[in-house]
Amino acid sequence: MEDQVLYLVLAGLFGLFMAWGIGANDVANAMATSIGSGALTIRQAILVAAIFEFSGAVLAGGEVTSTIRRGIIDSSYVVEDPELLIFGMLAALLAAAVWLLIASQRGWPVSTTHSIVGAIVGFGAVALGTQSIDWGQVGTIIASWVISPLTAGLIAYGIYNSIHWLILVRPDPLERARRYAPLYIFVTVTMIALITMLKGLTHVGLTLTTLESYAIAIGIGAIVALGGRWFVARIHIDEKADREFHFATVERVFAILMVITACSMAFAHGSNDVANAIGPVAAVISVARSGLVEQSSAVPIWVLFLGGLGIVLGLGTFGRHVIATVGARITALTPTRGFSAELAAAFTIVFASGTGMPVSTTHTLVGAVLGVGMARGITAINLGVVGRIFISWIITIPAGAVLSIFFFYLLRSFFGGAG
């Protein structure tokens, strides 16, 4: 295929840009509760992300990925003209990455999945016709704007109230925290292990039955809970801090829990969402090398490394804007509140994986933070910030589509109107 090398170079560059956007927006989102609650500093969060996001992306990010993400367009429409798919995937990557750059700069936590879906819809509509798009699939994604945050918000509301009732309002909150913390750790790690096994590990040729996945997840949860119990037992009472804030030592217990959830969520996120960057890259590489359009494409290991590297760079260089929004501007977070939000997000993602309900990691976590805020009353929430976030969600798919159309025509004219 003519221009094969240039296609591969552009796919690598645009894929790195897209992965950078995921790090700046989505990973920042996942780390925001830990940073906003004071459980981790920004440097510690970047270190956690560097290790666990990168590991998740490379170890469980997928050896095989769908050629066209989420089945949004019918691949039969590009079989006769495979270069159209190359232009479309390159345009989609660049469009989604530019939108993530714009959103991240403004501190808007948007869905990277919706960004790439919107971009693919835009390319499909102008290059192949609207009949090539699975509008039912697009509709389920739009429905997730309501389903994801509402489900996570209700669960977070319940979890925070359980901590309040079991621990915070009791005469011996620290002893109660030591008693129940291992249980919360067990539930959290089990949920996040399930996310990884249900959504991530099928890509690396490790196919587990549902029963096996649950058994392994429960085993991992039990081991980490025992380790957490050991750490929690060694927390000493800070009498001065407790005089200033009655629950200071209890919050330190939950800060340990948040470090565990941050590591776990980072690995699960890396294994799942890196596909938003590497899926289109793998499609371009496959078509450029073979000249054929296939339903799935093998992912070279260097592409997984590229995705992992881009994610870490994005968080380190630009993540602070979204972290500030989710971690501090929606509602004031403490370790107990941040932990409730992260556990609720994990619950929602596991539930979605099992039922096929379309969810966005971003929408789920923002909904969970809102739920925690609601547990303290509507006045605890900054409604202006929430309004701006909701508007950014609504315009993500159209923005991705418009940018993709622009870049598609630009690329096609640059390559001499091929296709």
pLDDT over threshold 70, residue 92: yes
User: Considering only CA atoms, which of 370, 362, 367 is closest in space to residue 332?
Assistant: 370
**With contact defined as beta carbons under 8 Å apart, do 134 and 71 qualify?**
yes
Band of pLDDT at residue 219, cut at 50, 70 and 90: very high
Choose the weakest-confidence range: 41-50, 126-135, 354-363: 354-363
227-245 pLDDT per residue, tens: 888 888 888 777 777 776 6
Q: Which pTM was predicted?
A: 0.85
Band of pLDDT at residue 95, cut at 50, 70 and 90: very high
User: Considering only CA atoms, which of 289, 304, 302 is closest in space to residue 86?
Assistant: 289
pLDDT over threshold 70, residue 172: yes
Choose the weakest-confidence range: 198-202, 263-267, 341-345: 198-202
Q: What is the pLDDT of residue 67?
A: 42
Considering only the C-alpha atoms of the chain, give the largest distance between any 2 of them, rounded to a whole number of Å.
Answer: 75
Q: What is the pLDDT of residue 248?
A: 83
pLDDT over threshold 90, residue 3: no
Q: What is the pLDDT of residue 358?
A: 62
Average pLDDT over residues 252-263: 84
Neighbouring C-beta atoms of residue 6, cutoff 10 Å: 12
Instruction: Give kind and range of the element (H or E) at residue 158.
Output: helix 135-163
Most confident of 199-208, 233-242, 294-303, 367-376: 367-376
Share of the chain above pLDDT 90, in %: 30
Q: What is the pLDDT of residue 60?
A: 63
Q: What is the pLDDT of residue 357?
A: 64
For residues 367 and 156, what is the distance between their CA atoms, to the nearest angstrom?
8
pLDDT over threshold 90, residue 223: yes
Helix, strand, coil distribution of the chain in percent, nearest 5: 80, 0, 20
Average pLDDT over residues 117-145: 87
Instruction: Supply angle C-alpha 202, 205, 210, rounded to 5.
Output: 45
Radius of gyration of the chain (CA): 22
**With contact defined as beta carbons under 8 Å apart, do 128 and 73 qualify?**
yes
For residues 162 and 10, what is the distance between their CA atoms, to the nearest angstrom?
51
> What single-letter DSSP state applies at residue 148?
H
Instruction: Supply angle C-alpha 51, 57, 62, rounded to 5.
Output: 155
Residues 203-225 as b/e (b if ≥16 CB within 10 A, e otherwise) read beeeeeeeeebbebbeebbeebb
Tokens of 278: 């590497």
Average pLDDT over residues 150-154: 93
Band of pLDDT at residue 122, cut at 50, 70 and 90: very high
Most confident of 45-54, 57-66, 69-78, 193-202: 45-54
For residues 87 and 95, what is the distance between their CA atoms, to the nearest angstrom?
12
Tokens of 360: 């966005």
pLDDT over threshold 90, residue 57: no
User: Considering only CA atoms, which of 368, 347, 342, 349 is closest in space to residue 48?
Assistant: 342
Which amino acid is residue 293, in one-letter code?
V
Interhelix angle for 383-414 vs 112-127, to 10°?
40
Which amino acid is residue 155, in one-letter code?
I
Strands 64-66 and 296-298: antiparallel
pLDDT over threshold 50, residue 64: no
pLDDT over threshold 70, residue 400: yes
pLDDT over threshold 90, residue 101: yes
pLDDT over threshold 80, residue 405: yes
Q: What is the pLDDT of residue 419?
A: 47
Q: What is the pLDDT of residue 416?
A: 67
Band of pLDDT at residue 352, cut at 50, 70 and 90: confident
Band of pLDDT at residue 289, cut at 50, 70 and 90: confident
**With contact defined as beta carbons under 8 Å apart, do 83 and 72 qualify?**
no
Average pLDDT over residues 101-109: 94
Q: What is the pLDDT of residue 103?
A: 96
Q: What is the pLDDT of residue 325?
A: 92
